[in-house]
Amino acid sequence: MAYLVEPTYTHGTPEKTAVLLVNLGTPDAPTAAALRPYLKQFLSDPRVVEIPKPIWWMILNGIILNVRPKKSALKYASVWMPEGSPLKVHTERQTALLSKQLSEIVPDAPLVVDYAMRYGNPSIPDVLAKLKAQNCQRILLVPMYPQYAASTVATACDEVFAQLQKMRNAPALRTIRHYHDDAAYIAATAQNVRDHWTLHGRPDMLLMSFHGLPRYTLEKGDPYHCECHKTGRLIAEALGLSRDEYRITFQSRFGKAEWLQPYTTATLKELGKANTRRVDVICPGFLADCLETLEEIAQEGKEDFQHAGGGEFHYIPCLNERPDWISALTKLTLDNLQGWLASPDAVALEQGRLRAIELGAQR
């Protein structure tokens, strides 16, 4: 009698460990037609919009999905790269660079490095199927958000868990919750700012703008607001800034409810009205440039500031492919792989961690 086996049964192929980067996601093209399914998936997630379903369903399908795709498509078109959406292009490059650095540090480790998007493509179900087909029996999920929010990190974990629930022979899973105060992430962010100042001199004000969340998330216990403030304080300390030389603000308000304050837009207008000579803006909660940084901050933010009477406006890009950030990501990954690679690799792993610290410091 033949035994029934799962189609992905991989007896004989070596067991592998996967490092899976997960980012938010982006439309496939800067068009209303591509924006619609992306926004529908994104905004139907109850972790993102916490309004009771029947009411929200009417607003989403009746108004938002008829108006927003066209408006957002124009914005996406203004930042689209020849290779595609900036968020996807940078996430793909970060994945390749992390894979390269890991293979240099632990050359014999059976590691697979890949990325998936929570909304849109490449989707979490598709990438997990790919990892299963390669016999990845352990998965380290690395959310590409340093600060934890239920609407970003938790929903990425939810989706991975939901897929594993459908598998009989499911892989082991580890998740990273946050790294908002990770020394190497803070050091790379501060160095990014210092590099900009070496070339262009210093501003009167450094604005650290984080993606916003509805205010009720803070009241309900989401640690996001506090984590953003801790990140901001650590960056300011690394740069030796006094309290009046920087501000922490929240951007990208969506809908009518109150969001975390102070708002980035209002602050830029206020600084402009005060005739601030120069403001520099960084977005430390975004590891890759995307619509929210390139359009909302670098374009709209600049206009808000200068229109109100402000002087020079400098947007400092995200960490993207910076070598010190790739080393920080490598170290974070290796730290969280402890105990998962076979014993001879454990020694290499420790050497690798030290090498990643060294590489980060050299660059």
State the minimum distance, in angstroms, from the CB of residue 43 to Fe ion.
10
Looking at beta carbons only, is 213 or 349 nearer to ligand L6N33NVT?
Answer: 213
Residue 26 binds which of Fe ion, ligand L6N33NVT, none (CB < 5-8 A, kind-dependent) = ligand L6N33NVT
- Is the Cβ–Cβ distance between 330 and 105 less than 8 Å? yes
211 is in an annotated binding site: yes
Interface pattern 127-156 for ligand L6N33NVT (x via CB under 6 A): ------------------x---x-xx----
Residues 33-72 that bind Fe ion (CB under 5 A): none
- Return d(Cα 348, Cα 30) in angstroms, integer: 44
- Which of 34, 89, 124, 290 touches ligand L6N33NVT (CB under 6 A)? 290
- Cα-Cα-Cα-Cα torsion 332, 283, 360, 238, nearest 10 degrees, comes to -110
- Please report whether residue 304 would count as binding Fe ion according to CB under 5 A: no
Looking at beta carbons only, is 182 or 292 nearer to Fe ion?
Answer: 292
How many residues touch ligand L6N33NVT (CB under 6 A)?
22
- Which of 20, 22, 85, 178 touches ligand L6N33NVT (CB under 6 A)? 85
- Return d(Cα 206, Cα 243) in angstroms, integer: 10
- Which of 87, 111, 140, 235 touches ligand L6N33NVT (CB under 6 A)? 87
- Which of 105, 124, 213, 316 touches ligand L6N33NVT (CB under 6 A)? 213
Interface pattern 228-267 for Fe ion (x via CB under 5 A): ------------------------x---------------
Q: Is the peptide bond before 110 cis (omega within 30 degrees of 0)?
A: no
State the minimum distance, in angstroms, from the CB of residue 304 to ligand L6N33NVT.
16
- Which of 180, 211, 331, 353 touches ligand L6N33NVT (CB under 6 A)? 211
Residue 21 binds which of Fe ion, ligand L6N33NVT, none (CB < 5-8 A, kind-dependent) = none
Interface pattern 48-67 for ligand L6N33NVT (x via CB under 6 A): xx------------------
178 is in an annotated binding site: no
State the minimum distance, in angstroms, from the CB of residue 92 to ligand L6N33NVT.
13
Residue numbers in the known binding site for Fe(2+) are 211, 292
Interacting residues with ligand L6N33NVT (CB under 6 A): 24, 26, 48-49, 68, 72, 85, 87, 145, 149, 151-152, 211, 213-214, 252, 254, 285-286, 290-292
